[in-house]
Amino acid sequence: MPVCAAPPFAGELAVSCDERWRAHDLLRLRHLAAFDGEPAWVRDAFERAPYAVVRRALVAEGIVAIGVRGTERSQRYGTWAASTDIVEAVAPEALVRSVPPAGRAALPAFAALAVLQRDARGVLNNMVWGPTGSAGFELATQTAAVTQSSDLDLLIRTPEQLSRDCAADLLNHLQALARETGIRIDAQLETPAGGVALAEWAAGKARVMARHASGPRLLADPWSAAHRTAS
């Protein structure tokens, strides 16, 4: 997040994450706490759509790290919510069969998603996955967020190791679809060690970047038992 509020707890209390809320889940909130330095656009954005996305950060008990998005690409704000203010959580995979609001389906990101939704024999068929980013936000909130140039961001749950060959096949499939629709498709694997870019794992790199609540880590195997910690 380009801007982030100071945490409302002492640093030594930031020791865990509430496993009920996972990175990229969208949370509907009854209240958004205000912190010093909050950008001017945040209140209007929250009134327009009272949702925030769970971000990766260690927190104190009863607190969730969240991100608020505005109408512009540059409007992203990292802040904090009390778990008691959460009304509903929507995971990306809960949106995999959702349809966009009327008149929005022709936007490239939604057109690409529709191809994946219809592809019953595709590489994603036996995986748990769903849209994140602007497409996920619009599907969950029914509030316009996708533009003509928006990427399609995907989250793929991989609790067990995904072979490099399977990752390469999946990446090639998504890249072909991206070329057809004229947009970028960015897929992230959710591993026991955190979020790993599909493109990095498919490339066969000796170590890949795993985005974890405690910070990014370079790992040879994000599925290793040694890294099975809350992300």
| Active site members | 151, 153
- 3-class secondary-structure state, position 227: helix
CA distance 66 to 86: 11
| Run of H or E including 210 | strand 208-212
Q: What HEC string does 65-76 produce?
A: EEEEECCCCCCE
Strands 26-29 and 86-90: antiparallel
Contacts of 196 (CB under 8 A, 6+ apart): 188, 189, 208, 209, 210, 211, 222
Q: Quick one: tokens of 139?
A: 């599907």
Which of 126, 125, 144, 123 is closest to 135 using CA atoms?
A: 144
Q: What is the dihedral of CA 82, 86, 91, 94, to 10 degrees?
A: 180
Listing DSSP states for 140-162 in one string gives: HH-S----TT--EEEEEE-SSPP
Listing DSSP states for 102-113 in one string gives: TT-TTSHHHHHH
Backbone region of residue 111 per phi and psi (left: phi > 0; alpha: psi in -120 to 50; beta: other values) = alpha
